[in-house]
A and B are shown apart, each in its own frame.
Chain A
């Protein structure tokens, strides 16, 4: 009993230390976001005169003109407009999420389970595409989207998701490989088609992995900077990450408190998503009836 208690407290201490180390930088971010502009330069850990002004600014409440909230006027240049940017980012997430998860899963299943000549080569090529540095593809890719007339729209940012991504295909393939073949083989003996196996056996078993892919995709879109940087040139179309980068690139007078307030607001929804959904994708295959 007491040994167990000791064990437990050691684990708690370790967890607490780790959690603190990871969270401390964020607490600092939070602290700066509540500092008034004049205190931003000081190294104090806590704001002496805390204020929510930075938040009002980045959400748009600080503007004298109440019309700002309705968003029916042009974005004031260089101002971070949280609601507008969040909506833009959300549009991209919504249009791309299902495509990314389903396409990646189908392709991953093909690479994991369907035996066909040239599979290894094709998979190697798929992995290799992950390794190409984006800068060299930037200009040719830009030309393709320009040819399609998609520059200045969200399409270059969500259409490619419908072709899956090498990273997610790789991730799902690894998970699929971990699921015993016997389940499918017995189902096939019962007359189940490949598609049926995939749809009725593989996908339900891989819910946690699919949730991971979905979460990673949301994260990628939420934080993607290079794509929006190249394809979006209108402040009305900015995404959250692009708006933030823009806030930082203000020469000389970077509003640090607004930068940190905007960062906090960007993190918040994803954090809530993670807190609520983490059990779903970590619950594990063990509890869903798959053992050994």
Chain B
């Protein structure tokens, strides 16, 4: 059963749905995009091989640097804040109270709002003059509330705020993870006299750790690919002083607005390497912190 070729065959058979799709639909386009990243390719004419010129140009492109810096700041803020927020909300929503389903639905429903509509809704809520948020802040005594979307200083904060609204999916995954933590562990901890805080720290968090790992990895990928929401909210502009111009937006502009598919492909491969590196880092760092009960 454990012998080499035999188990390889078994493994390949089980994973066939994925790698067949990979070979048929992804590998070709990926290889092509790798080749194109070494070419000048205006999309409508055949690619011309230019060696590493695209990669060299990236190193000296200030817009690229700005986009990468924005993306790093966004990821560095949105992922930790989002994770902490989602775990806490999941624990809160896991409390057995009447109307639990309704509360869960309230938190989840924003994730099913189409991004286009969500972008428009938040443009209104964050409107500095009429928006609900600033109306509230003024009522609370703030004389000059932020301009939010139109201020280079607050644009990023606005986006992170909106990203919290979309945490329904990770919260649901955490909730499902919470169901898997055996009740006995809590009972034992309670018998040992552990406070609610200690139970959370010593039982809940370790129990959730595989799920947290999953969500962080997905979060990293999502943060590096953030696109649609800023695209809608800033009406396709790069935000005030490019404050909300992210990696994928610049990539998209290069591919379809500037007709530099080669440059865009080089960006894509750099992005892939960055995300791979970050994910590997997260896996290594988390090796000690993540507990698989099954393993």
Contacts and interface: CB of A to CB of B under 8 A. Distances in A.
Query: Do A and B contact each other directly (Cβ–Cβ < 8 Å)?
Result: yes
B132 interface: yes
Main secondary structure of the interface of B (DSSP, over half): helix
Nearest to B20: A163
A6 interface: no
B210 interface: yes
Interface stretch (A56-64, A70-78, A123-131): A123-131
Given A131-B272, A135-B256, A286 B180 contact: yes
A48 to B, nearest CB: 15
Interface in B213-228: 213-214, 217-218, 221, 224-225, 228
Contacts of B173: 171, 212
Given A25-B121, A132-B268, A248-B120, A274 B132 contact: no
Contact of B25 (A14, A163, A169, A178): A163
Nearest to A119: B11
B199 to A, nearest CB: 14
Given A104-B17, A111-B15, A28 B109 contact: no
Interface in A93-140: 103-104, 106-107, 109-111, 114-119, 122, 125-133, 135-140
B84 interface: no
B184 A291 contact: yes
Nearest to B13: A110
Interface in A176-203: 176-181, 194
B105 A271 contact: yes
B4 A117 contact: yes
B283 to A, nearest CB: 9
A153 interface: no
A19 B11 CA distance: 45
Residue of B11, B118, B217 ringed by the most chain A CB atoms within 10 A: B11
B284 interface: no
Contacts of B213: 174
Nearest to A129: B26
Nearest to A290: B180
A122 B19 CA distance: 9
A140 B122 contact: no
Size class of the contact patch on chain B? 35 or more
Residue of B15, B25, B175 ringed by the most chain A CB atoms within 10 A: B15
B141 interface: no
Interface in B93-118: 93, 95, 97, 101-118
Interface string A234-258: 0000001100110010000000100
Interface in A247-292: 248, 256, 259-260, 262-263, 266-267, 270-271, 274-275, 278-279, 281-287, 291-292
20 contacts: A12-B97, A19-B102, A22-B165, A103-B18, A107-B14, A107-B15, A116-B10, A129-B26, A133-B225, A137-B33, A141-B25, A163-B18, A163-B25, A177-B210, A177-B292, A194-B14, A212-B173, A222-B112, A260-B120, A275-B101
Interface of B: 2, 4, 7-8, 10-22, 24-26, 28-30, 32-33, 36, 43, 89, 92-93, 95, 97, 101-118, 120-122, 124-125, 127, 129-132, 165, 169, 172-173, 175-176, 178-180, 182-184, 210-211, 213-214, 217-218, 221, 224-225, 228, 232, 248, 251-252, 255-256, 261, 264-265, 268, 271-272, 275-276, 279, 292-295
Interface of A: 8, 11-12, 14-15, 18-20, 22-26, 28-29, 43, 45, 103-104, 106-107, 109-111, 114-119, 122, 125-133, 135-141, 144, 160, 162-164, 166-167, 169-171, 174, 176-181, 194, 208-209, 212, 216, 219, 222-223, 225, 240-241, 244-245, 248, 256, 259-260, 262-263, 266-267, 270-271, 274-275, 278-279, 281-287, 291-292
